[in-house]
Amino acid sequence: MTKGSVAPDYSTRVVDRDLDELLPALPAIALEGPKGVGKTATAQRRAQTVIRLDDPADAALLDADPVLLARSDPPVLLDEWQRMPTSWDLVRRAVDNGASPGSFLLTGSAMPADASVHSGAGRIDSIRMRPMSLAERLPGIATISLAVLLAGGRPDIGGDSELTVADYRREILTSGFPGIRRLEGRALRVRLDGYLRAIVQRDFPDQGLSVRRPETLLAWLRAYAAATSTTSSFATIAASASGAAGTIPAKTTTIAYRDILSQLWLLDPVEAWLPSGSALSRLTKAPKHQLADPALAARLLDLGDGDFVPGGRGAAMLGPLFEHLVALGVQTYAASAQARVGHLRTKAGEHEVDLIIEREGAVVAVEVKLARAIGDADVRHLRWLQEVLGDRLVDAVVVTTGRRAYRRPDGIAVVPAALLGP
Give the strand pairing for 76-79 and 104-108. parallel
Shared domain check, 104 and 253: no
Shared domain check, 201 and 119: no
Q: Please indicate, yes or no, if residue 1 is contained in any of the structural domains.
A: no
> Following CA atoms 385, 386, 387, 390 in sequence, which dihedral angle do they give, to the nearest 10 degrees?
120
Shared domain check, 148 and 294: yes
Angle between helices 251-263 and 214-226 (to 10 degrees): 80
Q: What percent of the chain has pLDDT over 70?
A: 95
Q: Which CATH number does the domain housing residue 91 bear?
A: 3.40.50.300
Indicate the length of the chain as a whole number.
422
> Following CA atoms 314, 320, 326, 327 in sequence, which dihedral angle do they give, to the nearest 10 degrees?
-140
Task: Output the CA–CA distances (angstroms, integers) from residue 395 to 157, 240, 287, 349, 410, in the order listed.
Answer: 12, 38, 23, 23, 11
Look over the chain and give the mean of its residue pLDDT values, rounded to a whole number: 94
Given pLDDT bands bounded at 50, 70 and 90, which one contains residue 174? very high
Given pLDDT bands bounded at 50, 70 and 90, which one contains residue 8? confident
Q: Which residue from 172, 158, 151, 145 is spatially nearest to 333, judged by alpha carbons?
A: 145
Given pLDDT bands bounded at 50, 70 and 90, which one contains residue 243? low
Residue 220 has, within 13 A of its CA and on its CB side, a CA count of 23
Total structural domains within the chain: 2
**pLDDT at residue 112 in the model:** 64
Q: For the chain, give the longest Cα–Cα distance.
A: 68
Which of 94, 128, 162 represents a domain boundary (last residue)? Answer: 128
Average pLDDT rounded to a whole number, residues 280-301: 94
Shared domain check, 199 and 90: no
Q: Which domain holds residue 210?
A: 134-421
**pLDDT at residue 210 in the model:** 87
Helix (H, G, I), strand (E, B) or coil at 231: coil
**pLDDT at residue 293 in the model:** 98
Shared domain check, 163 and 36: no
> Per-residue DSSP letters for 141-186?
---EEHHHHHT-S------B----HHHHHHHHHH-S-HHHHT--HH
**pLDDT tens digits for range 76-122:** 999 999 999 999 999 999 999 999 999 999 998 876 665 555 556 67
Which of 96, 128, 160 represents a domain boundary (last residue)? Answer: 128
Shared domain check, 409 and 368: yes
Give the distance from CA 211 to its chain's centroid: 25
Shared domain check, 145 and 122: no
Q: Whole-model pTM?
A: 0.95
Given pLDDT bands bounded at 50, 70 and 90, which one contains residue 281? confident
Average pLDDT rounded to a whole number, residues 54-66: 95
Residue type, 406: Y
Q: Which residue from 198, 164, 185 is spatially nearest to 418, judged by alpha carbons?
A: 164
**pLDDT at residue 18 in the model:** 97
**pLDDT at residue 355 in the model:** 98
**pLDDT tens digits for range 126-149:** 999 999 999 999 999 999 999 999
